[in-house]
């Protein structure tokens, strides 16, 4: 069916715009189970490309995939005290199976540290068995009260990496390595350049020694925690009894890390690039990079333009461009334009009788370069030959635009609480300030400003001259931090 209702404008209600675009671009839909969504082929196709790219990066850095059980005995989760305190309220519990009540309830994994380290403990004897560098692609379940498609759902898809090492230094290196893999992936594939840094004590993963995160800034100037990499010290190794014999012959606990990104990244992509016409998908992630629409008024024109569209599609496919000819007969071209724009396909090529005469193609860009018109007309051979480059440039332009937007909405050197309040209650964005390290300041910001410290930025994201006093006015700054409202 043709759906030509327009979307709620972003400026009017960003949240309504988001929900509409996710559903009407057919990325996902609500399911009959509260908090669980259905990822439709267009959304799953984008996720598949994210998976493939990340998986390649994990493998290049020495990791292997495996698969661990969905169900975890309640007693495992309880072994690490901070861990269970963090996750208990969100657990889904299987109490009956095979027609009987279970002796011990099983929980659907909210994350798998406890199960995976239990298995590592079985496999590891000596330092020669370390490091173990494994990842799994899996579904997990966290019973959330308020859910939003992709951003916060009870069930979600993710990858969770779990590594075990003989030394603290190695585990710390791994934590940093993966944080960098995530950053590069988000920049280069999603065109969603994050700031990376350390989470504060109050925001870290339940059971971690330190958590690092990628924080991306959405178009409504709220932050999205888009990926996390945790240094777990020996906490989970102790809970699971994961020991090894060191080279010196001593029995020691291993050091572990865990790290994950999820289908939340699809939501991040939507909120980084989309506009009032719908989605904008970076070419590297787009299931269809270029749609070709034949234009005709009668059967004769139809057969000529459809034939040309197919010929152009075949030539583009030979160049590696994911191309689709939309030759549906019951929709007019305008309806097709709306649909593919809403789905965020980077380029549309129109083939009409006049284009055939002239030997040229009309190329409509999903994002119009400043000062230009949507369409350009290019001689057919040139249009095809230069199309891969056009896709690369589109990808680069999205990345640059998002980076500029993040920087334009990063407020550095803020020293006054009132100023921070004005920014966060107004246009929003990242607010860089000094912080004395006191959680009471975080509490106050949460209450007064609905904002949190997103991270203590890593070296490359720190200001050249950060404030030396805490934003609270109470003492010297221990760290430069970034505040924002967030998803």
Cβ at position 279, least distance to a copy of itself in Å: 17
Q: Smaller CB distance to a copy of itself: residue 183 or 342? A: 342
Cβ neighbours around 388 below 10 Å, total: 15
Distance CA 440, CA 387 (A): 55
Q: Round to whole Å and give the CA distance between 446 and 453.
A: 9
Q: Computed over its alpha carbons, how large is the radius of gyration of the chain?
A: 25
Map tokens 């490309």 to a residue: 49
Do residues 38 and 153 touch, judged by C-beta distance below 8 A? no
Residue 90 CB, nearest approach to a copy of itself (Å):
6
Provide the minimum distance between the beta carbon of 125 and a copy of itself in the complex, in angstroms, as a whole number: 6
Give least dist CB 36 to a copy of itself, A. Answer: 4
Neighbour count for residue 128 (Cβ, 10 Å): 10
Q: Is the distance from CB of 226 to CB of 261 less than 8 angstroms?
A: yes
Q: Smallest distance, Å, CB 45 to a copy of itself?
A: 7
- H or E element: which one contains 354? helix 353-358
Nearer to a copy of itself (CB atom), residue 64 or residue 427: 64
Q: Which is nearer to a copy of itself, 90 or 173 (CB)?
A: 90
Residue 98 or 371 having the CB closest to a copy of itself: 98
Q: Which CB sits closer to a copy of itself, 21 or 39? A: 39
- Contact assessment for residue 471 and residue 441, using Cβ atoms and an 8 Å cutoff: yes
Nearest CB to a copy of itself, comparing residues 63 and 387: 63
Q: At closest approach, how far in Å is the CB of 62 from a copy of itself?
A: 11
Q: Which is nearer to a copy of itself, 29 or 416 (CB)?
A: 29
DSSP-derived secondary structure for 160-212 = EEEEEESSHHHHHHHHHHHHHHHHHHHHHTS----EEEEPPGGGS-TT-SEEE
Q: How far is the CB of 444 from a copy of itself (least distance, A)?
A: 29
Cβ proximity to a copy of itself: between 47 and 231 the closer is 47
CB 291 within 8 A of CB 248: no
Task: Give CA separation, 392 vs 191, 275, 282, 396, in Å.
Answer: 12, 21, 9, 6
Query: What is the Cα–Cα distance from 382 to 380, expressed in whole angstroms?
Result: 5
Min dist CB 280 to a copy of itself, Å, is: 21
Interface residues with a copy of itself (CB under 8 A) are 1, 29, 31-33, 36-41, 44-45, 47-48, 64-73, 76, 88-99, 105-106, 108, 115, 118-119, 122-123, 125-126, 128-129, 134, 138-139, 141, 143-145, 154-155, 157, 330
DSSP secondary structure letter of residue 126:
B
CA 469/CA 465 separation, integer angstroms? 12
Min dist. Cβ of residue 350 to a copy of itself (A): 23
Handedness of CA 273, 261, 26, 145 (dihedral sign): negative
Nearer to a copy of itself, 9 or 69 (CB): 69
């Amino acid at each position: 069916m043709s759906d030509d209702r327009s979307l709620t404008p972003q400026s009017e209600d960003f949240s309504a715009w988001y929900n509409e675009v996710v559903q009407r671009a057919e990325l996902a839909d609500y399911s009959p189970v509260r908090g669980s969504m259905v990822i439709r082929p267009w959304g799953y196709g984008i996720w598949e490309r994210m998976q493939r790219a990340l998986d390649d990066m994990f493998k290049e850095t020495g990791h292997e995939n495996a698969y661990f059980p969905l169900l975890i005995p309640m007693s495992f989760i309880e072994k690490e005290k901070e861990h269970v305190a963090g996750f208990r309220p969100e657990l889904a519990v299987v109490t009956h199976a095979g027609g009987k009540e279970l002796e011990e309830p099983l929980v659907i994994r909210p994350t798998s540290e406890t199960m995976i380290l239990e298995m590592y403990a079985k496999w590891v004897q000596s330092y020669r068995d370390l490091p173990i560098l494994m990842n799994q692609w899996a579904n997990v379940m966290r019973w959330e009260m308020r859910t939003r498609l992709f951003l916060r759902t009870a069930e979600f898809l993710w990858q969770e990496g779990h590594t075990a090492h003989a030394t603290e230094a190695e585990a710390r290196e791994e934590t940093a390595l993966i944080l960098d893999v995530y950053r590069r992936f988000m920049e280069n594939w999603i065109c969603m350049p994050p700031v990376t840094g350390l989470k504060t004590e109050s925001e870290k993963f339940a059971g971690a020694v330190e958590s690092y995160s990628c924080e991306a800034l959405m178009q409504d100037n709220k932050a999205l925690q888009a990926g996390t990499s945790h240094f777990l010290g020996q906490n989970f190794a102790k809970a699971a009894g994961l020991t090894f014999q060191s080279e010196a012959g001593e029995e020691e606990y291993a050091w572990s890390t865990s790290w994950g990104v999820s289908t939340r990244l699809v939501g991040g992509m939507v909120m980084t690039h989309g506009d009032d016409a719908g989605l904008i998908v970076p070419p590297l992630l787009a299931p269809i990079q270029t749609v070709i629409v034949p234009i005709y008024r009668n059967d004769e024109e139809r057969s000529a333009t459809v034939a040309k569209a197919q010929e152009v599609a075949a030539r583009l496919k030979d160049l590696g461009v994911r191309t689709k000819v939309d030759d549906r007969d019951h929709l007019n071209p305008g309806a097709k334009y709306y649909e593919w724009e809403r789905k965020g396909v980077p380029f549309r090529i129109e083939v009409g009788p006049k284009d055939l005469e002239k030997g040229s193609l009309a190329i409509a860009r999903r994002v119009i370069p400043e000062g230009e018109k949507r369409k350009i007309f290019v001689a057919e051979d040139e249009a095809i030959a230069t199309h891969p480059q056009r896709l690369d440039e589109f990808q680069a332009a999205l990345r640059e635009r998002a980076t500029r937007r993040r920087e334009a909405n990063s407020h550095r050197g803020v020293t006054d609480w009132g100023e921070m309040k004005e920014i966060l209650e107004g246009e929003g964005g990242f607010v860089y300030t000094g912080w004395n390290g006191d959680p009471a300041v975080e509490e106050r910001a949460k209450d007064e400003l609905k904002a949190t410290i997103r991270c203590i930025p890593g070296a490359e994201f720190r200001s050249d001259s950060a404030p030396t006093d805490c934003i609270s006015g109470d003492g010297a700054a221990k760290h430069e931090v970034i505040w924002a409202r967030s998803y």
